[in-house]
């Protein structure tokens, strides 16, 4: 199994500001995934972060809004830029179990509220 730590666990932010979420994994992994979970909506993949290359973004998500860093095989950050109330959500970091496609370990999430 993998243990994933996310910081912050929750925050209240002002409109127009940016916030960076950190994700630390206790083992080296190739891909790290960032998800968004909005109230009443399904868990949605934002982007996949590979070490040493640019993140791959899903349709509807852009790098200017959600820049991602992946400096090594155990750490990644997701920044939510120029926030608006619509960005209020839970953001989750996850990694895939080695040899088990689709079997993900998740962090506990970062709950952001934008006023």
Q: How far is CA 110 from CA 18, 46, 107, in A?
A: 14, 14, 9
Decide: is 4 part of the binding site for another protein (CB under 8 A). Answer: yes
Residues 60-69 as b or e (16 or more Cβ within 10 Å = b)? ebeeebbbbe
Give the interface segment with another protein, choosing from 13-21, 65-73, 80-88, 97-105 (CB under 8 A): 97-105
Decide: is 109 part of the binding site for another protein (CB under 8 A). Answer: yes
Contact 24, 4 (CB under 8 A): yes
Q: Which of 46, 55, 107, 112 binds another protein (CB under 8 A)?
A: 107
Binding site for another protein (CB under 8 A): 4, 31, 40-45, 48, 58, 92, 94, 96-97, 100-109
């Amino acid at each position: 199994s993998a243990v994933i730590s996310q910081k912050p666990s929750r925050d209240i932010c002002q409109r127009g500001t940016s916030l960076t979420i950190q994700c630390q994994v206790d083992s080296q992994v190739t891909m790290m995934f960032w998800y968004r979970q909005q109230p009443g909506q399904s868990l949605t993949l934002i982007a996949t972060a590979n070490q040493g290359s640019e993140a791959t973004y899903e349709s509807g998500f852009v790098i200017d809004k959600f820049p991602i860093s992946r400096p090594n095989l155990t750490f990644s950050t997701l920044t939510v830029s120029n926030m608006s109330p619509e960005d209020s959500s839970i953001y989750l970091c996850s990694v895939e179990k080695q040899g088990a496609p689709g079997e993900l370990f998740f962090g506990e999430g970062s709950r952001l509220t934008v006023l």
